[in-house]
Structure 1
Amino acid sequence: MCFRVLILLSLVFNVYKCSYKDDNELSMINLNCIFQDFESDPYGCKASHLSVSSRKTTIQKVIHGKGKSYNEILTFYAYNPNITFIPKGIGDYFPNLQRFIITKSRLRHIEWRDFRNMKNLKVLSLNENKIERISQCAFQYLENLESISLDGNQIKALNERHFMNLPNLVTVSANDNSITELETDLFQNNLKLKDILFRNNQLKAIRINFRQLRSLGMVDLQSNKCISIKFECCDYFSEFIGNITQKCEGPGICN
């Protein structure tokens, strides 16, 4: 019975498709960039005076001083920008981006249009914003993504569709949010995962099948409602699973 249910869920999961409709009456802005080498990130654009209050905002021109060509920009970085939405077109100007970082903004919602033409992206860091909702298609076309960091936002839920097309994902960090549940199939397509970090959330149910994640190095579930525990490589894995099963309505009954 349980086996049949899992097959049915898998079929539904795989046929899910993302759709996108272009907005009319776009609001055009210039993107002011300082091209520079970063201390720990590759050469990139540090955005300055970025202000976006409309979902329909798109970049018409990049303004910058001397520097390398657009194709050599590997990092996009915006600290404390006055934005509620990510403007369209960043990936059109910088097609080889590997790292995308926005922190301390008013950003509340992200969707896949925000990351169009960023197929080479490896690191996505959106820490300390105001994100409440993530479109199920947001990361759909970021197949080379290795790390997602969503710390310090207001996220209440994540599900398997957020991560379904990320086979190279190694790290997921969503510390300091309001997530209440980790679903059974949350990381079913992410078998390279090494680090899963959900510290200081509101977790009451943890149903992830951790046993299928053969590369696990660390799971941080400290300071949650049902449990406060951290697993690191070479700890007693069975004891870790036992604690979750006893205290957090999981893992799922089929494990």
Structure 2
Amino acid sequence: MMRLTNFILFIVLIKLTIGIKLNCRFEDYKTVYKFSYTCLAQNLQTTLNERTVTEVVGDHIFGKTNNDVEKVFIQHQNCHCIPRNLGEFFPNLKILYIMKSNVQYLMDGDLDGLDKLKIFDVSHNPIDQIGENFFKGHSSIMIISFYDCHIKKVTPGSLNSLTNIERMHFEGNACVDQRFDVDSSSSLEEVCENIYDKCHGNDHVLKSNQTETCDSLKHSKIAEIKRESTIEESSNSLSTILMILLLLTIVLNIIFAISFYRIFKSNFNGSWHEMRNVLV
């Protein structure tokens, strides 16, 4: 039993070490319209296998807490993937800026938990495509910016769930170089179709067989990342099950100890000497 308990503890501890710590410098940071209480990320690094935030550290301004944070600003960091689980620590997050941080991949579920998000800005990152379900379930977003990214493909349907969108920045990309405003003169459907027409497929971008080969390898890499993402999600489920088993083991040990004590006290009057004589 002890070996099983130690093994479960070992697995849980390993799983916990995979999470990343978000080190924040908290301050009132000016936006276009007002000051927003902001977490400015320090020394942040994310990889495919280490992108789930499990801890946030940093000294708050007096009277402020994580619940007051409306903006996370990540700039000049090393983030191949968007850090996940931010909503667990910042439930009122409205603005997410990740700029010039080498973000390459947008994965389904990256924005889960950010139910109040209004602005999503990943400008100046080497992102080359937007998947169909990336924005699914995030209709609260009003502004997105992919300014100066490497966008070659925007999957049809990927933007239609942004029913409250007002502005989309796609300036400086491979397939599109334009800002789109959604208003009375241009509906969401019209804007989306315009973008999809420009960025659906890569025929207008690919210039040679060599380029096609590179693009194929890139998409293979993305498929591999999605498979590994599924493995990570399965690992999360496994760690949850193991944690439950650990708690059950502890509870059973406590019950066993209590039962043994009661039998010892009632049958042997609490005397170890008497119990030994009976057993011998």
TM category (shorter chain) comes to: 0.5 to 0.7
* Uncovered stretches (5+) of structure 2, i.e. residues with no partner: 1-13, 206-280
For 1:63, the aligned partner's letter is V
Match of 1:177 in 2: 173
1:45 to 17, 39, 42: 39
For 1:62, the aligned partner's letter is V
Q: TM-score, normalised by structure 2?
A: 0.55
1:154 to 143, 150, 153: 150
For 2:105, the aligned partner's letter is H
- 1:66 and 2:60 are equivalent in the alignment: yes
Aligned partner of residue 43 in structure 1, secondary structure: strand
Deviation at 1:149, TM superposition (A): 0.4
Contact 1:96/1:120 (8 A) holds in 2:
yes
CA distance in structure 2 between the partners assigned to 1:165 and 1:174 by the alignment: 18
* Identity between Structure 1 and Structure 2 (%): 23
The answer to which structure, 1 or 2, has the higher relative contact order (CA under 8 A, 6+ apart) is: 2
- 1:129 and 2:106 are equivalent in the alignment: no
Per-residue displacement from partner, 1:137-182 (whole Å, max 9, x unpaired)? 1111211111000011111011342112111101011111111699
CA distance in structure 2 between the partners assigned to 1:56 and 1:82 by the alignment: 12
CA distance in structure 1 between the partners assigned to 2:157 and 2:108 by the alignment: 12
For 1:169, the aligned partner's letter is I
Per-residue displacement from partner, 1:99-122 (whole Å, max 9, x unpaired)? 100000111111232111111111
- 1:117 and 2:107 are equivalent in the alignment: no
Match of 2:102 in 1: 106
* Bigger radius of gyration among the two: 2
Higher helix share: 2
- CA distance 1:171–1:106, change in 2 (3 Å): same
Match of 2:230 in 1: none
For 2:24, the aligned partner's letter is C
For 1:132, the aligned partner's letter is D
Match of 1:54 in 2: 48
Tell me how large the CA RMSD over aligned residues is: 3.4
